[in-house]
Chain A
Amino acid sequence: MSDPKMKILVVDDFSTMRRIVRNLLKELGFTNVDEAEDGAVALQKLQGGDFEFVVTDWNMPNMDGLTLLQSIRKTPALKHLPVLMITAEAKKENIIAAAQAGASGYIVKPFTAAVLSEKLQKIFEKMGKTTA
């Protein structure tokens, strides 16, 4: 099962949105949450800290979520990190692009804690299988 102490990084340029995601995570029992305002800042934080999970927006200045995901997958120390993409786009090509870049999950805004929980569970299950 998931560890509630798990250190999670929430990446979004819109602070209200970071707060929303943070609150939803809190509802699910995850309280060890840090924030970053774009991909570039996120990457720096990831390299510096022992994060275990990344929840990122797609559309951001400086470095967008997809590029962040690609950079994570390219970095040996980070490539195992589960990355959940959050976006307002439900377009097929976006979902495919995210999947190809190695996203662990994909959520379309707006969503509820239940949806988030379900996606997280799926990711944890998959992780459990690969590490087992």
Chain B
Amino acid sequence: MSDFAGMEDLLQDFLIEAGDLLSGVDNKLVDLERAPNDRGLLNEIFRGFHTIKGGAGFLNATELVTLCHLTENLFDKLRTGELDLSSEIMDAILDATGTVRVMFRSLEQGVQPKAADPNLIERLELALQGRLDAGAVQAAQSKPVVEEKPVSSGGIELFTDPAPAAAPTPAPAPAAGPDWIALHHAVSGQPAAPAGSVAAAASSKPAAPAAPASTNPGGAQVPVVAKKTPEEVIKDAVGRRATDRPGAISAPVGRRENERQRDTSIRVDTARLDQVLNLSGEIGLTKNRLNALRSDILSGRNDSETLHALDLAVSQLDLLVSDLQNAVMKTRMQPIGRLFQKYPRIARDLARNMGKDVELVLEGEETEIDKTMIEDLADPIIHLIRNAVDHGIEDPVERGSTGKPLKSIVKLQAQQEGDHIVIIVADDGRGMNPERLRAKALEKGLITDEEANSMDERQSFNLVFLPGFSTADQVSDVSGRGVGMDVVRTNIQKLNGSIEIRSQANKGTSFIISLPLTLAILPVLLVRLGDQPFAVPLSMVREILPIDPEAVKEVGGRATMVIRGEVLPVLPLSGLLGWPLDRTPEYGVLMQAAELSFILAIDSFAGREDAVIKSLDDFRPKGVAGVTTLANGQIVLILDMKELLGAAGEQRGVTRRTLIREAPTPKPDQKTLAA
């Protein structure tokens, strides 16, 4: 069945490593387009193809070797300055990387890849001979496959064939070249038909999406590349994921199995594993020490020296265990850059297809995030980027008329904020129009007239997350798959994260995703209501302060305190929990949840702790993130502040009178009140 009997392990390794490498190459190609003479980049891309070729040789993947070999040779000539990078060469190279990816997919299914499209090979060969100019491309692309050499015509009529894919019947298949093979191959999961019969396959496929011919008003930058829909671009770039969705033609079962295999493995820096090993060794030693001390103590030795030694050993164990926890957690962490890497190419291809000039700027690629989250984030981020390029960014004409620079910047940014990772996809486009969003939702019957009237800007933006919401132009490119922003939000929420939108007319739109750093350990502050302890995430705590009743003012019917000029609402925890407010809180915890700062009023606090979260999967009361066990064995609820605040809604504020009990039982430490 498989062409790789006995080599499966090797194949898996190769695919993972070479896949990373190819993403890197793709990324560098995008950079290269902006700096065509960068010798370092050329060298690195050359080495990428060279390395893939070397590995492919051992897998007997002849066609992959051939393709990589040609591309590598091309880069050899580019890096030595023998050739100059023209846009035609660039297109050939980009097609080549696309084809390499298609071949990887075939390898993933355990099938030797079929030969690359002869057109592509020919274009690469022409490029190598320094004869690939616009005319040659045109000729190579529109001539029948069987012909030997292209006729190098004048190359003037570059734009007569703007969207070959859109031609209704017997489309000249070679014109669309590698894309059809790729598409057919990827969609059907069958071996690509021999080049000669591709025409039949292509024209008989009703699903073949017609590229919107209108998306290329500029035209000039996109002379020869066959148009693809955004979905195709994404699919070409990421392969398996985008296709593996309900609604898409289902892939063969074998491939799913392969995928499952891939997803459960992780590559860890050996230094990190060594650290884990080292720490567990140390813990073993400390355990031995404790064992020895135990026998000493049990046999009656309890002099101060022994006890001191016990104290030392226990504190050492304490330190080691927390180090070990961190080290183990780190083995699951991967720099998010590995995910980000694939996006510049996707953004570039999408933008080019639409005749827009977009640069995707990456920031914070070194930010580390749990591996499982990386995988689950891939699709939502693609969707957001696609959205930004497609809808966020204006077309060049509109941009020009508003006086913005023609090149637009889409920023993909990651950073750690306390125990959260924040990922931002921001464009500098036209911004979202709350008015239009509301009208749209109303028209679709998603909201009532009344609701529409009472919505503020933020609520209006959030309408895009409603299932079934999509603006008119969106329908064409998502090709009726029903994958929309609602899926993005659902996926983010599954990761315990949240997504919010900020948008300014003409300035752009930002999607802000906030995710927990890890799902395992959480530093918490223990607070008390009466005798009952609760844990709140320490990352949200800015400071702890005593609540002086005289400092509590009433603003707009709500109890507030002014802390360094900032007016902050005082929210009693008992109120949030729905408990009766029967005593005046003594302490306030200044907390920050997203953009909201407030003072959480509590009775007392009991210090901080690194909580190992046990989630309450089946039974999860609102506002409770999980439970943890204290050193004394007591079980404590960990509060999910965002949820608590959300649940309380607008009624969460209390009046000063409710907060401060006017006839308190005098306590020694409440002299101010008594006085």
A interface residue numbers (CB < 8 A to B): 13-17, 19-20, 23, 57, 59-61, 87-88, 109-110
Determine if B10 and A19 form an interchain contact, defined as CB atoms under 8 angstroms apart: yes
**B18, B50, B51, B60: the one within 8 Å of A110 (CB):** B60
Complex-state Cα separation, A110 to B58, whole angstroms: 5
Report which residue of A23, A61, A88, A109 has the largest number of chain B beta carbons within 10 angstroms of its beta carbon: A88
Determine if B47 and A88 form an interchain contact, defined as CB atoms under 8 angstroms apart: no
Q: In this assembly, does B57 line the interface, its C-beta being within 8 Å of a C-beta of chain A?
A: yes
Q: Given the known A-B contacts A15-B17, A16-B10, A19-B13, are A59 and B60 also in contact in the complex, defined by CB atoms under 8 Å?
A: no
Complex-state Cα separation, A109 to B14, whole angstroms: 15
Determine if A59 and B47 form an interchain contact, defined as CB atoms under 8 angstroms apart: yes
B54: chain A residues at CB < 8 Å are 14, 17, 57, 87-88, 109-110
A sample of 27 inter-chain contacts (CB < 8 A) reads A14-B17, A14-B21, A14-B55, A15-B13, A16-B14, A16-B18, A17-B51, A17-B54, A17-B55, A17-B58, A19-B13, A20-B10, A20-B55, A20-B58, A57-B54, A59-B47, A59-B50, A60-B47, A61-B47, A88-B50, A88-B53, A88-B54, A88-B57, A109-B57, A109-B58, A110-B54, A110-B58
B interface residue numbers (CB < 8 A to A): 10, 13-14, 17-18, 21, 44, 47, 50-51, 53-55, 57-58, 60
B60: chain A residues at CB < 8 Å are 110
Complex-state Cα separation, A59 to B53, whole angstroms: 12
Which partner residue on chain A sits nearest B46 by CB separation? A59
In whole Å, how far is A78's beta carbon from the nearest beta carbon of chain B? 24
Q: Kindly list the 10 A-B residue pairs having the minimum CB-CB distance in the complex, ordered from nearest.
A: A110-B57, A110-B58, A88-B54, A16-B14, A16-B13, A14-B51, A109-B54, A109-B57, A16-B17, A59-B50
In whole Å, how far is B75's beta carbon from the nearest beta carbon of chain A? 12
In whole Å, how far is A98's beta carbon from the nearest beta carbon of chain B? 16
Q: Given the known A-B contacts A13-B51, A17-B55, are A61 and B14 also in contact in the complex, defined by CB atoms under 8 Å?
A: no
In whole Å, how far is B8's beta carbon from the nearest beta carbon of chain A? 13
A61: chain B residues at CB < 8 Å are 44, 47
Complex-state Cα separation, A15 to B47, whole angstroms: 14
Report which residue of A15, A16, A17, A61 has the largest number of chain B beta carbons within 10 angstroms of its beta carbon: A16
**Apart from A88-B54, A110-B57, what 5 extra A-B contacts exist at CB < 8 Å?**
A16-B10, A17-B54, A17-B55, A61-B47, A87-B54
In whole Å, how far is A68's beta carbon from the nearest beta carbon of chain B? 15
Which partner residue on chain A sits nearest B270 by CB separation? A35
Complex-state Cα separation, A17 to B14, whole angstroms: 8
Complex-state Cα separation, A2 to B17, whole angstroms: 33
B18: chain A residues at CB < 8 Å are 16
Complex-state Cα separation, A87 to B72, whole angstroms: 14
B10: chain A residues at CB < 8 Å are 16, 19-20, 23
Q: Given the known A-B contacts A59-B50, A110-B60, are A16 and B44 also in contact in the complex, defined by CB atoms under 8 Å?
A: no
In whole Å, how far is B54's beta carbon from the nearest beta carbon of chain A? 5
In whole Å, how far is B6's beta carbon from the nearest beta carbon of chain A? 11
A57: chain B residues at CB < 8 Å are 54
Complex-state Cα separation, A59 to B44, whole angstroms: 10
In whole Å, how far is A118's beta carbon from the nearest beta carbon of chain B? 17
Which partner residue on chain B sits nearest A13 by CB separation? B51
A17: chain B residues at CB < 8 Å are 51, 54-55, 58
Q: Given the known A-B contacts A61-B44, A110-B60, are A16 and B55 also in contact in the complex, defined by CB atoms under 8 Å?
A: yes
Which partner residue on chain A sits nearest B13 by CB separation? A16
In whole Å, how far is A1's beta carbon from the nearest beta carbon of chain B? 27
Complex-state Cα separation, A13 to B51, whole angstroms: 8
B53: chain A residues at CB < 8 Å are 88
A14: chain B residues at CB < 8 Å are 17, 21, 51, 54-55
Report which residue of A14, A17, A19 has the largest number of chain B beta carbons within 10 angstroms of its beta carbon: A14
In whole Å, how far is B4's beta carbon from the nearest beta carbon of chain A? 13
A109: chain B residues at CB < 8 Å are 54, 57-58
Which partner residue on chain A sits nearest B47 by CB separation? A59
A23: chain B residues at CB < 8 Å are 10
Complex-state Cα separation, A14 to B57, whole angstroms: 13
Complex-state Cα separation, A59 to B49, whole angstroms: 11
In whole Å, how far is A115's beta carbon from the nearest beta carbon of chain B? 12
Which partner residue on chain A sits nearest B72 by CB separation? A88
Complex-state Cα separation, A47 to B9, whole angstroms: 33
In whole Å, how far is A63's beta carbon from the nearest beta carbon of chain B? 13
A110: chain B residues at CB < 8 Å are 54, 57-58, 60
Report which residue of B14, B17, B58 has the largest number of chain A beta carbons within 10 angstroms of its beta carbon: B58
In whole Å, how far is A15's beta carbon from the nearest beta carbon of chain B? 6
Which partner residue on chain A sits nearest B44 by CB separation? A61
Complex-state Cα separation, A60 to B54, whole angstroms: 12
A15: chain B residues at CB < 8 Å are 13, 17
Report which residue of B13, B18, B47, B50 has the largest number of chain A beta carbons within 10 angstroms of its beta carbon: B50
Which partner residue on chain B sits nearest A86 by CB separation? B54
Complex-state Cα separation, A73 to B160, whole angstroms: 61
B58: chain A residues at CB < 8 Å are 17, 20, 109-110
Complex-state Cα separation, A19 to B10, whole angstroms: 8
Complex-state Cα separation, A15 to B55, whole angstroms: 10
Q: Given the known A-B contacts A16-B13, A20-B10, are A59 and B57 also in contact in the complex, defined by CB atoms under 8 Å?
A: no
Which partner residue on chain B sits nearest A89 by CB separation? B50
Which partner residue on chain B sits nearest A20 by CB separation? B58
Complex-state Cα separation, A20 to B50, whole angstroms: 16
B44: chain A residues at CB < 8 Å are 61
Which partner residue on chain B sits nearest A21 by CB separation? B58
Which partner residue on chain B sits nearest A24 by CB separation? B58
Which partner residue on chain B sits nearest A88 by CB separation? B54
In whole Å, how far is B138's beta carbon from the nearest beta carbon of chain A? 33
Which partner residue on chain B sits nearest A15 by CB separation? B17
In whole Å, how far is B590's beta carbon from the nearest beta carbon of chain A? 48
Which partner residue on chain A sits nearest B59 by CB separation? A110
Complex-state Cα separation, A63 to B47, whole angstroms: 13
Which partner residue on chain A sits nearest B17 by CB separation? A16
In whole Å, how far is B124's beta carbon from the nearest beta carbon of chain A? 17
Complex-state Cα separation, A61 to B45, whole angstroms: 11
Determine if A59 and B51 form an interchain contact, defined as CB atoms under 8 angstroms apart: yes
In whole Å, how far is B21's beta carbon from the nearest beta carbon of chain A? 8
B21: chain A residues at CB < 8 Å are 14
Complex-state Cα separation, A57 to B58, whole angstroms: 14
Complex-state Cα separation, A109 to B10, whole angstroms: 16
